[in-house]
């Protein structure tokens, strides 16, 4: 049997979108906010020489800076006021989520409902300011250390850079919240997505130019295109995959009537951790190389040895990359999904898994199933990120064709489409209710 929601979803079309005035306003607001963000990625920091920085960036593009330039929408390449992008906010959110699992105070706040969430969000903003200021100070020191980028080095440059970059991050955090509340949702994710997508045409043009110059063969370019299509299809398939646990509700009596027991499903995503594991794994592995490049000739033989072994395509790099992705997949899944809390909620509402005793046994069973599907999800993340990583290493393919970039683009696009579909479904339901009331009055 097809549900009413599925029937409505099948009938959604552009005419339904044209009639949903509220949704159109939300879409236009989102587009306008993203245009503001993109404009900010082209405003350079005061006091620097953009051309001198561009030359230095080209030597660092294969390391940590190149990786996060993807997420910054080219803001690091141009050393713009939005160079830090929204990454400090994401880091602060993850740190607060980690602390919630170990701090009784934060855990109690989380259980307080809306007021507790507001308090935790406020703590996240404070931590974002601290992280952004630290990272901005590190960038300012690094720029001054190059010797040719900063026109007037000194305390004034340090202070102005910290204020500008921190302010840029806080503005993007506010902009993301506005997109979430007044736009079509997923504000933070859409900011990252727009940065990747906006720089994709130049990445494609650069790849084709390498093919024209003979640096990349035509066959290899075709392989990259086919690989990107295959990876996108694979991501869509796995991100939609779920393990559904049957939930049964007992019979209940209301007055003199007996209602049959109902059944539903508890969906467990195959990849509960999302894109967090690849981002963290890449950051940890690329950091030593970047530190070595900024301190060339000052780190000793041991730093040179480590950075050599952690180069793209090296066996140690690939092994650690896979290991970190698997570790963070399990770690972050344990943070975002609590089997004990889920089991308690089922017990409160009278639901149970057939053959499993409610309460502790149900929590153990959910954890058992979740652990095993996370093994598959971690393997999926490792495969998606490893194959493009090899091409980046041996064929000089831009980061924009990497598994992490494709994973973010596809996942956020699917979530955004689901949000729009939800608004259209709500609009159609409202129309059905109004028509039914009108018919009742006419009768």
* pLDDT given at position 8: 43
Identify the top-confidence range among 17-21, 121-125, 247-251, 316-320: 121-125
pLDDT digits (tens, 9 = 90+) for 213-246: 777 777 777 877 888 888 888 888 988 888 888 8
pLDDT in tens, 74-129: 888 888 999 888 888 888 887 887 787 778 888 788 777 778 778 888 898 999 99
User: Partners of 203 in the beta sheet?
Assistant: none
Q: How confident is the model at residue 263 (pLDDT cuts 50, 70, 90)?
A: confident
Residue entry with tokens 């259209």: 424
**Tens-place pLDDT, residues 415-425:** 888 888 877 77
Lowest-confidence region among 20-34, 155-169, 392-406: 392-406
Q: For residues 165 and 143, is the Cβ–Cβ distance under 8 A?
A: no
Query: Span 172-176, mean pLDDT?
Result: 92
Instruction: Give yes or no for residue 385 having a pLDDT over 50.
Output: yes
> When comparing pLDDT for 364 and 275, which is higher?
364
Q: Which residues make Cβ contacts (< 8 Å) with residue 399, sequence separation at least 6?
A: 66, 67, 69, 70, 203, 392, 405
pLDDT band at 69 (very low <50, low <70, confident <90, very high): confident
* Per-residue confidence (pLDDT) for residue 6, from 0 to 100: 43
Give the range among 11-20, 73-82, 188-197 with minimum mean pLDDT. Answer: 11-20
Structural domains in the chain plus CATH codes: 10-199 (1.10.3370.10), 217-401 (1.10.3370.10)
Full-model pTM: 0.78
3-class SS of residue 44: strand
The mean pLDDT value of the chain amounts to: 79
DSSP 241-293: -EEEEEEE---EEETTEEEPPPEEEEEEES-TTTTHHHHHHHHHHHHHHHHHH
- Rounded average pLDDT over 369-396: 81
CB 173, CB 128: distance < 8 Å: yes
Judged against a pLDDT cut of 70, whether residue 402 lies above it is answered with: no
User: How confident is the model at residue 178, as a pLDDT?
Assistant: 92
CA separation, residue 161 to residues 134, 137, 150 (Å): 11, 7, 11
Pick the most confident of 122-136, 338-352, 397-411: 122-136
Q: Is the pLDDT reported for residue 312 higher than 50?
A: yes
The pLDDT confidence band at residue 173, using thresholds 50, 70 and 90, is very high
């Amino acid at each position: 049997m097809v549900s009413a929601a599925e029937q409505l979803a099948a009938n959604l079309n552009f005419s339904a979108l044209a009639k949903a005035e509220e949704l159109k306003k939300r879409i236009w607001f989102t587009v306008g906010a993203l245009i503001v963000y993109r404009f900010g990625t082209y405003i350079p920091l005061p006091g620097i020489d953009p051309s001198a920085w561009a030359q230095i960036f080209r030597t660092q593009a294969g390391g940590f800076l190149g990786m996060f330039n993807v997420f910054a929408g080219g803001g690091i390449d141009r050393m713009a006021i939005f160079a830090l992008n929204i990454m400090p906010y994401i880091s602060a959110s993850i740190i607060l989520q980690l602390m919630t699992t170990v701090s009784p105070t934060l855990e109690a706040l989380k259980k307080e409902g809306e007021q507790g969430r507001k308090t935790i969000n406020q703590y996240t903003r404070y931590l974002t300011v601290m992280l952004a200021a630290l990272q901005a100070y590190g960038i300012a020191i690094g720029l001054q250390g190059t010797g040719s980028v900063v026109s007037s080095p000194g305390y004034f440059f340090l202070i102005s850079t910290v204020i500008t970059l921190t302010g840029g991050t806080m503005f993007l955090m506010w902009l993301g919240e506005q997109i979430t509340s007044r736009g079509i949702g997923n504000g933070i994710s859409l900011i990252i997505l727009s940065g990747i997508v906006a720089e994709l045409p130049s990445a494609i043009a650069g790849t084709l130019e390498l093919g024209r110059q003979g640096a990349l063969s035509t066959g290899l370019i075709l392989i990259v295109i086919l690989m990107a299509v295959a990876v996108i299809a694979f991501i869509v398939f796995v991100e939609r995959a779920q393990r559904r646990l049957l939930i049964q509700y007992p019979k209940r009596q209301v007055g003199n009537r007996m209602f049959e027991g109902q059944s539903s499903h508890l969906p467990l995503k195959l990849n509960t951790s999302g894109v967090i594991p690849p981002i963290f794994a890449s950051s940890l592995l690329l950091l030593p190389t970047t530190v070595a490049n900024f301190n060339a000739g000052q780190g000793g033989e041991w730093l040179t040895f480590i950075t050599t072994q952690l180069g793209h395509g090296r066996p140690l790099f690939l092994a650690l990359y896979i290991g970190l992705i698997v570790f963070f997949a399990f770690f972050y899944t344990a943070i975002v999904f609590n089997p004990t809390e889920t089991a308690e909620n089922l017990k409160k509402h009278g639901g149970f898994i057939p053959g499993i005793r409610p309460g502790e046994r149900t929590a153990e069973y959910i954890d058992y199933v979740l652990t095993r599907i996370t093994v598959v999800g971690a393997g999926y993340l490792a495969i998606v990120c490893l194959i493009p990583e090899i091409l980046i290493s041996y064929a000089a393919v831009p980061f924009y064709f990497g598994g992490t970039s494709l994973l973010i683009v596809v996942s956020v696009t699917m979530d955004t489409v689901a949000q729009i579909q939800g608004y259209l479904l709500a609009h159609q339901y409202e129309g059905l209710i109004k028509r039914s009331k009108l018919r009742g009055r006419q009768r």
